[in-house]
Amino acid sequence: MIEVAFVGNPNVGKTALINAIAGSDLQVGNWPGVTVEKKEVTFTYEDETLHLVDLPGTYTLSPYTLEEKVTRSNLCAGGFDAIVNVVDTTDLRRNLYLTLELIDLQKPMVIALNMFDEFSKRGYRLDVEKLQEIFGIPCIPTIASKGIGTKTLLGRLYEVYKECQLPHLIPYQEHIEKEIAFLVHKMEGLECQIKRFLAIKLLENDSYAIQRMQELDPAIVDLAHKARERLQRHLRMDVKEFIVQDRYQKIDAILAQVLHKPLVDRVLLTDKIDTIALHRWFGIPLFFIVMFLMFKTTFDGSTPFVDWVGGFFDGFVAPHLRAAMADLPSWLVSLTVDGVVSGVGLVLSFLPLLAFLYFFMALLEESGYMARVSFLLDRVAGILGIKGNAFIALIVGFGCNVPAVYATRTLSSFRERLITALMISFMSCSARLPVYALFTALFFTRHQALIIFSLYLLGILVAFIVGFIANKALPTSQAKPFFMELPTYHMPSARAIWMLMWPKLKDFIVRAGTVIVMASVILWGIINLPPSATPQTSYLAQISKKITPIFKPVGFGEHWEPVAALIPGTLAKEVIIGSLGTIYGVEAAHKPMAKSSILEDLTKELHTLWVATERSAHNLLAIQITSLETEVAPSRIQQRIRQQFTPLSALSYLVFILLYIPCVSTMAAIKNEFGWRWMLFETALLPILAYTVAFVVYHFAALLL
Amino acid sequence: MSRKKLSDLHPGEKGIIKEIGDIGELKNRLMELGALANTPIEVVRVAPFGDPMELEIGNTHIAIRKSEAQKIVVERFKDKR
């Protein structure tokens, strides 16, 4: 099997290129031990099996981020037989820097001159023949987005490997070369394939090279140190700086021979967009508009589908399962249908929402706007010890906390990810809204919008306080200064977006799904046991009756029913309303059994799916946020709530609901990303925090009202 | 010709990099992206809240915070673009 590494700068269309080659066979996973995505594909070409691996984008082989480290370590581990260096032809000078470093690895190599169409469009011309002559390896113009050049690329890659065609060395300045030769000579007996590369990196004082050599032969580290001192004295400047300068001189010399610039560099579209997108006054409002549109579309587009999935499980899967299991003991039927299957239903009902949200996230990321958001908001984030890009995750949290937790993956350090994740659960997600709507409609009819808005603000406030404390409390790792490229905007392809979306969706179904189904079964247990319990005598009722007095100081400790509803509410906040109904006994838990045939009902479900699609499309065109219109709850629940709450205690109850736990799905995501310890920490912290804040709000509001 | 901190340049102003001070690993990163001594650099714009700043080196646009830009000494071009 031929192991091939795809290496290139970030945002050069490297993933798109490997996509175009791999087609639908591309596999997405994680690099071992880190949450950096690994994309790979295996297929047969001619008589050989090719294994292509997409290494994370990097500017140089002196890494700055976690992702870049993955690339460097993998390249230097020596497991690759050949390299495909993908370069952005529109910025050759910078991209060739990495190329020169790769050449020092002395592996069979091919250069993909990507974005060649854009390059030509800007009026540049390149002498590809001459470039090939200089590097001694094939250089192939490609247009990844259209799949152009991929066949040639593969063919040349195969030849290069078969003939073991190595790139020509581009010699450094003579004194540097002398020291390299000296070090390489000293390494002669060592078991190491990248001697030249390590020698130059040792001269650069690169910590990875030094560490690696320390393991191989510590004496050489000393020799390298002396060599560096010799050079320093002779060159009268920092050796690293000299080497970087030398590389750029070589690049400029090469480009002088092969690149023909147009007389006038046209103002790029990106510059024009950024004069507005990053404008002093318009930048921030535009950002809010983009966010608003993203949420509007996500909610309005997905709500009909979310409802449909819910209906599909309640109205089709559950009744038919009950019919099919009619002869089995009723507890088993109930466990299967109300425990396991309803858990599966819950997982799947998240999918439409997540799919829409991930679509927009991918769109923003691929297009290049995401980097702009970081740029706009970095100042605010700096106060909390995080960087601008963390805000993306926080904003996603208003829609749903689950994808928000996964969105922290793009942040550069574990510390930043953790601070952000701790803040996310206070972003009031869409599932909390129906509960606010029900209670505020009853007790704050006149100021409904104001109260709901205040709850959102309270969540943000608590998030900032928690973030601020976390920043002070967590040990500071030597944070690297903020650095970010503002890449050229470009139109993302549908495939690229799908490739970003799909692994995340799959991950949610598999990993978060198992935890949700487990939680669903446990909850089923406490709601339905002991055997033949009614909603008033179940374990849930018994537990709630015991803990209810605890809530007296925060105003809703007089009746056990609202407290009981909080427990199923951990599954998803909107479940609170349904649970209140069941516990009050106003909604006799109806458990229909299917009477008609499966086929007949399936046709009906397919019809309603079509209706849902139509509604979704209709919603997207409407101007107002349709899905935020309040649902009308059965008036008998309203009566009971009125009896058991005062405006003050209702407010306190809502504050508690806002803060006490996001939901089991979010906790599952936190466990996934940060491990059991942080998940348990959150689970313990949040109720205490919610209680404290509810207490303060209850007593403070009492003074006002 | 006057020496200035990069952070003191206004949006649209260009300068020649004279010295990059102690900004940890960012120094190597900037050099490897082409921000070497005696190369031109332009402050494209500053973010709405006053930080970070967008720089143009060669064809590359990058953002760094002012706290680091302060430690980069440049020689300002007399004429604005």
- With b for 16 or more beta-carbon neighbours within 10 A and e for fewer, the A407-437 pattern comes to bbebbbbbbbbbbbbbbbbbbbbbbbbbbbb
Same domain, residue pair A635 and A535: yes
Question: Domain boundary residue among A162, A196, A215?
Answer: A162
Range of the domain at A186: 174-260
List the structure tokens of A575: 């479940």
Same domain, A382 and A410: yes
- The total number of structural domains that make up chain A: 3
Q: Are residues A189 and A100 in the same domain?
A: no
On whether residue A266 sits in a domain, the answer given is no
A17 belongs to a structural domain: yes
Strands B60-64 and A259-260: unpaired
Question: Could you read off the pLDDT of B29-42 as tens digits, one per residue?
Answer: 999 999 999 999 99
Q: What is the ipTM of this complex?
A: 0.94
User: Is A639 part of a structural domain of the chain?
Assistant: yes
Q: Which CATH number fits domain B2-76: 2.30.110.10, 2.30.30.90, 2.60.120.10, 3.40.30.10?
A: 2.30.30.90
Per DSSP, the three-state class of A54 is strand
Residue A688 in domain:
yes
CA-nearest residue to B26 within chain A is: A481
Q: In this structure, what token pair is assigned to residue A406? A: 């996964």
Rounded to whole angstroms, the Cα distance separating A386 from A410 reads 12
Closest Cα of chain B to A487: distance in Å? 7
pLDDT for position A182: 95
- How far does the CA of residue A481 sit from the closest CA of chain B (Å)? 6
Same domain, yes or no: A256 and A313: no
- Beta carbons of A379 and B54 less than 8 Å apart: no
Query: Mapping DSSP to helix (H, G, I), strand (E, B) and coil, where does residue A393 land?
Result: helix
Q: Based on the domain organization, do A526 and A666 belong to the same domain?
A: yes
Nearest CB partner across the interface for A484, out of B31, B37, B63: B63
Cβ contact, residue pair B63, A240, below 8 Å = no
Residue B24 Cα, gap to closest chain A Cα (Å): 8
pLDDT at A203: 96
Q: Residue B51 and residue A379: Cβ atoms within 8 Å?
A: yes
DSSP of A83-119, one letter per residue? EEEEEEGGGHHHHHHHHHHHHTT---EEEEEESHHHH
pLDDT at A575: 78
Judge whether A687 and A681 are in contact, CB under 8 Å. no
Tell me how far the alpha carbon of residue A436 is from its chain's centroid: 29
Angle in degrees, CA A450, A456, A459, rounded to 5: 140
Indicate the residue among A122, A140, A162 that finishes a domain.
A162
Beta bridge partners of A49: A44
What is the mean predicted confidence (pLDDT) over B42-57?
94
Q: Kindly state whether residue A76 falls inside one of the protein's structural domains.
A: yes
pLDDT of amino acid A190: 87
Whether residues A589 and A498 fall in one domain: yes
A375 lies in the same domain as A254: no
For A448-483, how does the pLDDT look when each residue is reduced to its tens digit (9 = 90+)? Answer: 778 888 898 999 999 999 999 999 998 877 677 888
Burial readout A501-517 (b: 16 or more C-beta within 10 A, e: otherwise): bebbbebbbeebbebbb
Q: To which residue do tokens 């191989």 refer? A: A216
**If we measure between CA atoms, which residue out of A167, A259, A303, A256 comes closest to residue A616?**
A303
Identify the contact set of chain B against chain A, taking CB-CB distances under 8 A.
23-26, 28-34, 36-37, 45-52, 54, 58-65, 67-68
What residues in chain A have per-residue pLDDT under 50?
A: 629-630, 632
> Does residue A155 sit within a domain?
yes
Domain boundaries, given as residue ranges, for chain B = 2-76
Q: A649 lies in a domain?
A: yes
Find the residue in B nearest to A240 (Cα).
B28
Residues A357, A250 within the same domain: no
What's residue A651's pLDDT?
92
Is B48 in Cβ contact with A280 (below 8 Å)?
yes
Q: Can you give the pLDDT at residue A402?
A: 84
Name the nearest CA neighbour of A567 among A540, A589, A586, A546: A540
Q: Find all residues with CB under 8 Å of A100, minimum gap 6, and list them.
A: A170, A247, A250, A251
Place B81 in a pLDDT band, splitting at 50, 70 and 90. very low
Instruction: Pick B52's closest partner by Cβ from A59, A375, A485.
Output: A375
- Residue type, position A445, single letter: T
Contact A154, A20 (CB under 8 A): no
Interface contacts (A, B; CB < 8 Å): 108
Q: Supply the CATH number for residue A194's domain.
A: 1.10.287.1770
Question: For residue A669, which amino acid is it?
Answer: A
Q: Both A329 and A461 in a single domain?
A: yes
